[in-house]
Amino acid sequence: MGSIFKSRATEEEYYLCYDKSLNRFGLEGTSYYISTSFGDTYVLCFGDPSKKPLILLHGMTMSSTMWYPNMKQLIQERCVYAVDIVGDFGRSKPTVAIKNRKAANQWLLEVLDAMQFNKVDLAGHSMGGFLSLNFALDYPGRVSKLLLFAPAGTFYKISFKFFAKIYPTLLFHTEKWIDNAFLWFSGKGEPLHPVFRAQVISGYRHAKPLLQVMPSVFAKEEFQNFNIPTLLLIGDKEVIYPAEKAIANAKRLIPNLETHIIEGASHSLTMEHADVVNEKAILFLRKEEG
């Protein structure tokens, strides 16, 4: 193992698309691999390393390049490290599948330890949001602030429609299925940006994800002593669950919670409504703790 791609040639094609998406950041950054017991994890770093670290975990099949509409704003406040989740589409090279929540936490713990970060701000979109909270529940001492953008599952069961849209995409990987799925995620009814779309299509066509964790709803008992300052953003047009109900459930579980429903946004809120998301995230990161 070590690659989710069907061949070296298709892997190279995907990496070419990945780099084109990366050009959209319009920023100088660095990148490196971190060795973990689940394989080599690819990390992109942007901003001033003397600033506090913010770790970003992307949505499923999206890779760290999905943050191109957010990075320029976020580096005003933090040094940002976008991590390609090992086993998902991206540049990480898995050797072992992450099969459950405990394994996911072990992987992220190894990444943070290798970076020598004792405490970080942690943010994630969709699957990345689920994995971020999952980690914060087990290792609250390692997370100073938590930012959740339309987390998958987490506070409310994912609708059956989500699986009906995504699984055919993974099975048939035709452009039509892929476009349909992402149009469904769009609050504006717009397709993905052509450069990013080319990368996503290349991933679906040429790779088989090895990430085997299913986003679920966290049990009430897990939040007993949870007090990490948390930001939760969900679009009012969210399709994977009802936004108001997910937020109401979250408020019952997290005492120190700031929530916003983003008008006109659906699941692709970090890309389509980047201005609002960036503004809310930055204001939240600027708030004094305690």
Domain ranges of the chain: 8-286
Give CA separation, 289 vs 83, 139, 145, 227, 228, in Å: 25, 18, 9, 11, 10
Q: Name the CATH superfamily housing domain 8-286.
A: Alpha/Beta hydrolase fold, catalytic domain (3.40.50.1820)
For residue range 232-241, list pLDDT tens digits in order: 999 999 999 9
Where residue 216 falls (left for φ over 0; alpha for ψ -120 to 50; beta otherwise) is beta
Tokens of 216: 């679920």
Catalytic site positions: 267
pTM to 2 decimal places: 0.96
The mean-pLDDT minimum among 141-155, 162-176, 209-223, 255-269 falls in 162-176
Q: Which long-range contacts (CB under 8 A, 24 or more apart) does 221-227 make?
A: 222/137, 223/137, 223/253, 223/254, 225/140, 226/136, 226/137, 226/140, 226/253, 226/254, 226/255, 227/140, 227/255, 227/256
pLDDT reported for residue 177: 85
pLDDT above 90 as % of the chain: 87
Does the pLDDT of residue 93 top 80, yes or no? yes
Residue spans of beta strands (DSSP E) within 138-236: 143-149, 230-235
Does the pLDDT of residue 3 top 90, yes or no? no
Tokens of 29: 């950054």
Separation of alpha carbons 237 and 243, rounded Å? 8
